[in-house]
Structure formats: structure tokens, C-alpha cells
Amino acid sequence: MSASLTFPDLAAVVCCVGSYDPDALRVDQVQDIIACFVRSVRTAERVDIRAALGRVLAADVIAPFDVPSHDNAGMDGYALRGADLAAGGAAAPTVVGKGLAGHAYTGAVPSGACVRIMTGAVMPEGCDTVVPQEFVRLEGDVVHIPAGVLKPGDNARQRGEDLRAGQPALAVGKLLRPADIGLVASLGLPEVMVWRKLRVAFMSTGDELRSLGEPPAQGSVYDSNRYTLWAMLTRLGCDVLDLGVVRDDPALLEAALRQVCENADAVITSGGVSVGEADHLRAVMAKLGDVAFWRIAMRPGRPMAFGRIASGVHTAVLFGLPGNPVAVMVTFYAFVREALLRMMGASPKPQPLLPVRALHAIRKRPGRTEYQRAVLEAQADGGWGARTTGDQGSGILRSMSAAHGLLVLPHDQGGIDAGKMVDFLPFEGLV
């Protein structure tokens, strides 16, 4: 699919990472290698703003006019000339008209006069201040403003205070969220330019796997990885291509991966990247491209393949994730998510980590990054405490499902005493 994307040689990229040892990589080295290797799609398309949610901007959105386009009232009350206020802010102007949002007052406002005004209404000519109606006492047409509640310029919103005409409102590479969609609409723009969607294929390998609808057999396991991968990719806004369970047969594996090259930008496999005997996948991946097989100092998720595969002129980035269901998810969030965002044209920042208190001692061996699944509990002091979700085996998917997020325990860290602070990566974001 990615005939237009040229990827560097992996060897050229890995040599930029100091002390590269494919059998003992740190998490940050893997992240750096992948970030240097992947390339962003370069095809843009114009879409309706409601189709742009979750897409990545391919061109700056420029404000075509000042926002707001006129000085306007920030409160319901009375608009007046700030120069009419006495030193302490007191005044008693007379009402000469009314201005509503969408129905401006266009008459003159002489000194000593004011205009009844509603929030959002255009400020009458010469007026620069609004006194909120709660602060005044009305006596016929006279508005008594006490001292101490107002100074010149209060409660008036200036033309262009949000955006100036010609100023970029949103920059290329922005992943569009609800506020961005509203912001584009506020500029009167019905469409935006976004990068095309990323097409990501995924498949499971392993002769023990059964697809949904198939009867279970002795020693069989229902394929769950394809469903978590489908869910994670769909959440990320990718177009997905499900290749199903591919049997551990070199011809079938090669045909599936060649199909990927023609139809997708990237492929995610799960299983078959460790050292087991039935794993033809490694040989096929190596045959089709420039693929490295790594052992990463992390838990879960030690074995992983990464690189690119090609069929004719078509190329796809390959992520060969370990088969254990928790390892699939953790390696996806540690490596694949950010790589795919880069390929989508975004510039992802590191996820913010929340410091929380360990509510019990946590076993951890130095020399690897660990991602332990945890739930948060509110503490009496207003902070958050974390408790792991029981057995942390990488086949126990319930440990992910029950968790609020991951405790990210750094490479050099040893065991953690109860009450110590640890870093927590939440699963849920607000928007």
C-alpha cells in the first residue's frame, strides 16, 4: 500500500541508538528506534468537519476573520463610556436604547447615557464598558452604579481577542478533538484538510486458536487478540483489515503478509515471535523484508518483531507482537500506538503519568520496565492510591479489564514499599 512511503534501512536507524543489542533493548531505545523509522502518510483529503473528528490536520486552519468579529458585551447589563465613570467607578447614566445579540443598537450614545445590553450584543459606538445588571439600581431610565463595582473596560469582549484574521487557529499535525471541531465551525468553515486514514491489517497466528463460532477442541483457545487489536485500532481511528487466524504454515503466512503489503500501511501480528518450534512466522517475516527480532527488557512483552515487509513495490510496517493477551495490549500502548499516530501525521507527546501512592508492597526486579495493572482508590488526604489487580501473568486478560490503568515501574527500579509514590498511566482520558 505504502509505495509512496520510503522507509530507511533498520540497520541505519538502530545504529543511532547507543549500545544496540537486539537481545537486550530498553523500552526507551525501542521507542526511539520506532520513532526514527516510521514515516507519515502524505495524501490529504478534504472532509466535512463532522467526518474530521479523530483525524489529523493536513494543513493549518487559518482564521478568515477576527474572532470575535466585533467588540461585544460579556455580561447582561448596561453599556456605557468608561470615561463617564467617576474615580471610584460610580455613575448614573440614562438608558437611551437596547442592544441584543443579533440585534445591535446602532444609535448614538452621548456622554452620560447608556444602552441596555445583553451578553454577546455588539457594543454600541463609543461604549467600552458593561456594568452587570446585578450591580445597579434602576430609577426610571436612570441606572445608578455604586462606587467600587466597575472600572473602564470591564465586561467588554474585544474584537479579535480569541483569534486575529490570518492567524493559524489550528496547526497541521493536530489530532482533532471535539473543541477543534467547534473551533473550525466558529470560523464558518464547513470542511478541513486531513491526512488520509491509516490502513492497518492485523492477524493472529497459532494452530491452537479458534475463531468465534468455531467449536472448541482439546487444547484450543479462543482468539482474543484479534478482538483487542480491532478495538484498540478502531479507537485510534484507523481503517482496519482483519486477516483472521493464519495457520502456522509458511505458504499461508507469506500469502497473508503479501496481501498486507498491497492493502495496508502497517500490519500487526500476534504470537509466534518467541523461540517456539512451530513458529514459521519469523522465517517468513525475515524473507519478506527488513525485520529485527528483539528481546526487550520489559514485562509483559519481552519478544517483539519490528521492521518493514515488501511485496513488489508495496511496503508495510510490521509489528510482530508477542502472543500473550496482556503482552499484546501493553506492547501496543508502549510502542505501536505512538508509531501509528506518527504514521497518521500526528506529533504525539509522551502520555502524562500521574504520581500515586502504592497501597501495598509491589514486587519488581531491577533491569526491566514493568507495566503492572492497577485500580485507583481515593485517599483521605485527597490523593490517589493504587492497588494491583491481583495475578499479573501476561495471559490474564482480566487483569487489564479490571484495571483503571498501568503502573509504569522504571527500568532501574527494584521492589516498592507500601506508601511509596509510583507512576500511573490512566486508561481513560476526558475527551
> Residues interacting with ligand LQZAQKY5, by CB under 6 A?
204, 206, 208-209, 221, 223-226, 270-276, 279, 302-303, 322-325, 327, 394-395
Picked from ligand MOO, ligand LQZAQKY5, none, the partner binding residue 209 (CB below 5 to 8 A depending on kind) is ligand LQZAQKY5
Residue 175 to residue 350: CA distance in whole angstroms: 15
Picked from ligand MOO, ligand LQZAQKY5, none, the partner binding residue 89 (CB below 5 to 8 A depending on kind) is none
DSSP secondary structure string, 321-368? E-SSHHHHHHHIIIIIHHHHHHHTT--PPPPP-EEEEESS-B---TTS
Q: How far is the CB of 220 from ligand LQZAQKY5 (least distance, A)?
A: 9
Nearer CB in complex with ligand MOO: 307/320: 320
The site for ligand MOO (CB under 6 A) is made up of: 299-302, 322, 324, 327, 394
Nearer CB in complex with ligand LQZAQKY5: 276/426: 276
What is the b/e burial string over 88-107, where b = at least 16 CB atoms within 10 angstroms of the residue's CB? Answer: ebebebebbbebeeeebbee
The residues, any chain, with a CB within 8 Å of residue 139's CB and separated by 6 or more, are none
Q: How far is the CB of 203 from ligand MOO (least distance, A)?
A: 18
- Hey, what amino acid is at 290? D
DSSP secondary structure string, 212-268? TTSPP-TT-EE--HHHHHHHHHHHHT-EEEEEEEE-S-HHHHHHHHHHHHHH-SEEE
Q: How far is the CB of 304 from ligand MOO (least distance, A)?
A: 8
Nearer CB in complex with ligand LQZAQKY5: 30/170: 30
Cα–Cα distance list, 398 to 224, 331, 429 (Å): 12, 17, 21
Measured in whole angstroms, the distance separating CA 10 from the mean position of its chain's CA atoms is 27
Picked from ligand MOO, ligand LQZAQKY5, none, the partner binding residue 276 (CB below 5 to 8 A depending on kind) is ligand LQZAQKY5
Nearer CB in complex with ligand LQZAQKY5: 238/328: 328
Contact 406, 331 (CB under 8 A): no
Nearer CB in complex with ligand MOO: 238/327: 327
Nearer CB in complex with ligand MOO: 285/344: 285
Length of the chain equals 431
- Hey, what amino acid is at 134? E
Residue 281 to residue 297: CA distance in whole angstroms: 22
Picked from ligand MOO, ligand LQZAQKY5, none, the partner binding residue 221 (CB below 5 to 8 A depending on kind) is ligand LQZAQKY5
Q: How far is the CB of 275 from ligand LQZAQKY5 (least distance, A)?
A: 5
Nearer CB in complex with ligand LQZAQKY5: 206/385: 206
Nearer CB in complex with ligand LQZAQKY5: 88/395: 395
Q: How far is the CB of 224 from ligand MOO (least distance, A)?
A: 14
Q: How far is the CB of 55 from ligand MOO (least distance, A)?
A: 32
The residues, any chain, with a CB within 8 Å of residue 35's CB and separated by 6 or more, are 338, 339, 342
In angstroms, how far apart are the furthest CA atoms of the chain? 94
Picked from ligand MOO, ligand LQZAQKY5, none, the partner binding residue 206 (CB below 5 to 8 A depending on kind) is ligand LQZAQKY5
Cell of 8: 530507511
